[in-house]
Amino acid sequence: MKSSDQDRCYLNDEGDSFFARNMGQADPDVLRPKKREIAERIASCGLQPMRVIEYGCNYGDLLKHYAEQGAECYGIEASGDAVEFGRKHYASAIELIQGSIADNALNREGGHCGFFDLAIIDDVFCWVSRETLMQSIANIDAVLAEGGHLFIREFFPLRSTRNRNHHVKDQEIYCYKLAGLHAGVFTASENYQVLARHSWIDDHDGWVDGKDEHRFESRWVDSILRKSTQDYFATAQPPA
């Protein structure tokens, strides 16, 4: 495994600090509104997943929602405090593992290859170290079944940018926003096709001048991709 200061920072400090800053008042019995929205978007595509994994799941409320519908659920999360909170409140309903997308016990053990029919990554890719990005993508692809679906929520800027995480003072930690999208890395392989997309701009409703790059810094997109290693290729016929 390549080492990465940014992933290590999330595992050792920033994951817990994020949890303390944002989840202090979390009610484990109520699905957060943003998570409800994600569940509704996935359901609107007719998907009823039975084996779900979420990477960067925080304390796992969305997984708990799927577990209540009968799904077997696993979460990988950098913050030890978030994992502890989820384990305390959801007990054995879901399996939470502290780790990074690139380096975690579930992927290392290899027993869940092609196991999941849905993988969710909600606002996490931008925080993944660029050194471990491709390993992270390989780990997600490894556990997703043929015909399975991948939900990615991420920034959708006009040009690729990186913004410093101002909460971390002693290290340069960045949020990486890709004009071509992290979802675009999957589709470029031709093993994934877009099933649905929805985009919006934070605190804004209506047309935006394309020159106003600042506004596009807070444009988001939800992508639902379907995986197949076989379906998306036409077999070329040899010349007669």
Ligand X SMILES: C[S@@+](CC[C@H](N)C(=O)[O-])C[C@H]1O[C@@H](n2cnc3c(N)ncnc32)[C@H](O)[C@@H]1O
User: Using CB under 6 A as the criterion, which residues of the chain lie in contact with ligand X when the complex forms?
Assistant: 7, 10, 15, 18, 55-58, 76-79, 82, 100-101, 122-124, 127-128
- Say how far apart CA 240 and CA 227 lie, in whole Å: 33
Q: Least distance from C-beta 35 to ligand X, angstroms?
A: 7
- What lies within 8 Å, CB to CB, of 187 at 6+ separation is 193, 194, 225
> SS3 of 219, please?
strand
| Closest distance of CB 182 from ligand X, Å | 12
Nearer to ligand X, 7 or 222 (CB): 7
Give SS3 for 54.
Answer: strand
Residue with Cβ nearer ligand X (66 or 127)? 127
Residue 236 Cβ vs ligand X, minimum distance, rounded to whole Å: 39
> Nearer to ligand X by C-beta: 199 or 211?
199
Strand partners, 54: 75, 120
Nearest residue (CB) to ligand X, 217 versus 232: 217
In the complex with ligand X, the residue whose CB is nearer, 5 or 68, is: 5
Report, in Å, the least distance between residue 80 CB and ligand X.
Answer: 10
CB of 79 to ligand X, least distance (A): 4
| Spatial contact of 58 and 90, defined as CB atoms under 8 Å apart | no
Apex CA 115: angle with CA 114 and CA 119, to 5°?
90
Between the alpha carbon of residue 220 and those of residues 15, 140, 152, 157, 200, the distances in Å are: 22, 21, 10, 8, 5
- Residue 111: DSSP 8-state: T
Q: Which is nearer to ligand X, 56 or 148 (CB)?
A: 56
Minimum distance of ligand X from residue 235's CB (angstroms): 38
Taking Cα atoms as reference points, which of 66, 53, 189 lies closest to residue 134?
A: 189
